[in-house]
Copies of this chain bind each other. A is one copy, B any other.
Amino acid sequence: MEQRFIDWLVSEVGVDPRNDVGIGDDAAVMRPPAGRRTVLCTDMLCEGVHFPASPGYDPRAVGRKAIAVNLSDVAAMAGRPESAVVSVALPRRGGQHVGEHLLAGMLEEARRFGVALVGGDTTSWDGPLVVNVAMLGSVVPGRVWRRDGAREGDVLLVTGACGGSLLGRHLAVQPRVTEARLIAEMVTVHAAIDISDGLALDLSRMLEASGCAAEVDLALIPIHPDAVAAAEAEPTKGTACDRALGDGEDFELLLSLAPAEAEKLLAAHEHGTLAGWPGTSLTEIGRVVAGRGMVGIAEDGSRSVLPPRGYLHAFN
């Protein structure tokens, strides 16, 4: 029964001292952190789209991912995640088990990043599992990373490596919250976006919003070993580099910043002077130029139009 589940949930989650009213009321009430702006985002995960269809999914991993993808959005604004509300449509059969493991995964990921679960909504139905998280964060005014601030002359950096996430990494998302905080504290970033649908597609979104173009050094793109493995397994579906550009669900950060700032950041990263940096790689992959669109530059210097490959939700 929903009430029993809710009671259990309330006892599991507890009350966070930052909040006046936590889980269990019509809404949560929080004290906004002094001197900061409010960040709000939301992401929905659907069975068979964002995780395998039953019985192929692990509800605990789904729970972790539901929180992690929102953490990634908050990180992409240079925000500090604060609290989250969760909606779930649970299957009528087995919903108790799914719900408990889902929540366990969400709590695990939320606690890892200091996020309080403050409320939610539970439905049971005969449809697929759907999980939605909305996350509240905060950010220092004037230090918000928008996606539309890239400027001609900027350098493009990417955290981690891309491609092949479908081999399993897409269910073990590592949100770059700490990396974002450390970067924002050290340098000025003109634009940022998290790579959810594909490096090329998300870069094109940043460029379109900013009214600029980019040159991408294809040989510099950090290719994840999973992209290599996926390309070897299905060579007809593109090279490892193609996969790094278009697979998506990487949840890495793509940043655009002035050359001097990029140099400063890369030097600190290389010399290990970014205290608390989790060991994530940081790679310069190209630069912002005037115009529209993207050009890929191969190792031999040859240039080709880089299409905005990635995952698009098609409907008609």
Say whether A125 faces chain B, with CB atoms less than 8 Å apart. Answer: yes
A124 touching B314 in the complex, CB below 8 Å, given contacts A27-B76, A41-B26, A144-B21: yes
Interface of chain A residues 15 through 41 with chain B (CB within 8 A)? 20-21, 24-32, 36-41
The CA-CA distance from A31 to B93 in the complex, in Å, is 43
The CB with the most chain B CB atoms within 10 A, among A1, A3, A36, A139, is that of: A3
Q: CA–CA, A121 to B70, complex, Å?
A: 11
Q: Does A74 have its Cβ within 8 Å of any Cβ on chain B? A: yes
Cβ of A211 under 8 Å from chain B: no
Q: Which of the 9-residue segments A105-113, A128-136, A219-227, A237-245 touches chain B?
A: A128-136
Which of chain A's residues 74-98 have a Cβ closer than 8 Å to chain B?
74, 76-77, 79, 83, 85-96
Residues of B within 8 A of A152 (CB): none
Q: Is the CB of A25 within 8 A of B147?
A: yes
A43–B86 Cα gap in the complex (Å)?
9
Chain multiplicity (copies) = 2
Verify A27–B40 contact, CB threshold 8 A: yes
Find chain B residues with CB under 8 A from A92 CB: 314-316
CA distance A249 to B219 in the complex (A): 58
- Please, which residues of chain B bring their CB within 8 A of the CB of A121? 42-44
Please measure, in the bound complex, the distance between the C-alpha atom of A2 and the C-alpha atom of B304, giving whole angstroms. Answer: 26
Chain B residues in 8 Å Cβ range of A141: 20
* Cross-chain contact of A41 among B27, B72, B144 (Cβ < 8 A): B27
A162 to chain B, nearest CB (A): 17
List chain B residues, Cβ under 8 A from A139.
29
Interface residue from B36, B93, B125 paired with A46 (Cβ < 8 Å): B125
Docked-complex contact B93 and A315, CB < 8 angstroms: yes
- Whether a CB of chain B sits under 8 angstroms from the CB of A56 is no
Q: Does A118 contact B (CB under 8 A)?
A: yes
The complex places the Cα of A40 from the Cα of B49 at a distance, in Å, of 27
How far is it, in angstroms, between the C-alpha of A20 and the C-alpha of B87 when the chains are bound? Answer: 27
Q: A135 to B77, alpha carbons, bound, how many Å?
A: 19
- Which listed residue (B48, B73, B124, B136) contacts A313, Cβ 8 A? B124
Nearest CB in chain B: distance from A114 CB, A: 16
Q: What sequence of 0s and 1s flags, for each residue 184-224 of chain A, a beta carbon within 8 Å of any chain B beta carbon?
A: 00000000111000000000000001000000000000000
Asked if A123 meets B49 with Cβ closer than 8 Å, knowing A2-B312, A40-B136, A87-B43, the reply is yes
- Inter-chain CA distance A107–B134, complex, in Å, is 19
CB distance from A101 to the nearest CB of B (A): 14
CB nearest neighbor in B for A27? B41
Instruction: Tell me the A residues contacting B by CB distance below 8 Å.
Output: 1-3, 5, 20-21, 24-32, 36-44, 46-50, 72-74, 76-77, 79, 83, 85-96, 99, 118-128, 130, 132, 134-137, 139, 141, 144, 146-148, 192-194, 209, 312-316
Interchain Cβ contacts under 8 Å between A and B, 5 examples: A25-B209, A27-B39, A27-B40, A42-B132, A44-B121
